[in-house]
Structure 1
Amino acid sequence: MSAPEVHGTVFLYFPTKDALFRAAVTEPLRTLERALNVEQIEGTPLERLRQVARAHARFVVQHRDYLRLVQYVLGHYDRFPDLAQEVSALTDRHGATLVALIQEGQEAGQLVPGDPDAIALAYLGFLNSIGLVVNVGGSKDAPVWDAMTRLGIRIFGPRDMTEAIP
């Protein structure tokens, strides 16, 4: 049993509410960036995209509260311009990595032709959406997450749709 937290204790570590909020948004960004890192994954472009989709779905279910906080910041860009810019920079870096991987898959003939930028944007939008609307009580083992992974893979446009099944 832990001792009760006194309101003032928080301010020993964070001088203001704004500093606390900033830390709550920015400190987990490094964890998010590691979860989104596709450069360390090996295999064909489609195999890598499958692994990425699985990792992303797992991250979404395990960090839903944090993702909602990030979405709040992005939705209130005028109120949190510095934080929103920091989060957007991460999204831009990750989006560029996805675009390169999608192009690689298209060039290898594993993915149908299409605009890699639009595909990456649609996929990132899909991730944000499932974080908001899929409610399974936080269970990362719910079958819906396997279905979400398959749908995420389909956004990339595998030439053979049976390839969308992880």
Structure 2
Amino acid sequence: MASDKVIRNMELKKARILEAATALFAEKGYDSTTMGDIAKKAEVGFGTVATHFGSKEELFYTCVIQPWKPLVDELLAFDKNPQSYRQEIEEMTKRHVKLVNEQKIYMHLIVQANAQYEKFPDIFKQLNEETEVLNQSLIQLITNGQKENQLLDGNPSTIAISYVSFLFGLRLIYIDNLPEEMLQQFATVAMRLFGVK
């Protein structure tokens, strides 16, 4: 049985490999990144990468999928039936814009997986499933707010999709992290999509 120290060391190496792979896949793209590149950047042997992840395909899958559900879970942390829809949506959009702004490198992997959906069908399917959960929760929030007459009428599905597209598109347009003032401005624009009265 492996000691705690050995297990911790293995977990640290695995984390370094994932960090290195994510950075290289984002910078060079999937096709131009090799397992050797990843091993070198992570400062581990080629065999260590293969032992932990098997293949480049499995490693890319892990780099994309492992952070996705926690990210979506954070995006889902809003009340779908609040007392004040204005306050809830204002807080939600600020939180969402800030959260997505912090995902600079990771978003490049999402774009690659979506753009090459035929090459990565399993990744594409999982990304879509989690995104649909987010869309449905937003639709419920919007529908409830419209019923309470706190949000303007509009197609809830179209509004939800527009909002999610705005969020993820925002991160892809800017190379650098946005300053706090700009994040606030984008959160205000995002809030308007919901038709808050």
Which band: TM-score by shorter chain? Answer: 0.7 to 0.9
- Alignment partners' CA distance in 2, 1:130 and 1:85: 23
- Pick 1 or 2: higher relative contact order, CA cutoff 8 A, min separation 6: 1
Q: Per-residue displacement from partner, 1:76-99 (whole Å, max 9, x unpaired)?
A: 111111110100000101000000
Unpaired runs of at least 5, structure 1: 160-166
Residue of structure 2 in register with 1:163 after alignment: none
Residue of structure 1 in register with 2:25 after alignment: none
Unpaired runs of at least 5, structure 2: 1-15, 17-41
* TM-score normalised by L of structure 1: 0.85
Instruction: Give the Å deviation of 1:15.
Output: 0.7
Retained in 2: the 8 A contact 1:111–1:156? yes
Aligned residues: CA RMSD: 2.0
Matches within 5 A, 1:5-154: 5-39=44-78, 43-135=83-175, 137-139=176-178, 141-154=179-192
- Alignment partners' CA distance in 2, 1:99 and 1:18: 34
State percent identity of aligned pairs.
25
* TM-score normalised by L of structure 2: 0.72
Question: Residue 194 of structure 2: which of 136, 152, 156 is its match?
Answer: 156
Instruction: Give the Å deviation of 1:158.
Output: 1.2
SS, match of residue 138 in structure 2: helix
Task: Flag as ranges the 4+ runs of structure 1 deviating above 6 A.
Answer: none
Structure exhibiting the larger radius of gyration computed from Cα positions: 2
SS, match of residue 54 in structure 2: coil
Retained in 1: the 8 A contact 2:78–2:88? no
Residue of structure 2 in register with 1:164 after alignment: none
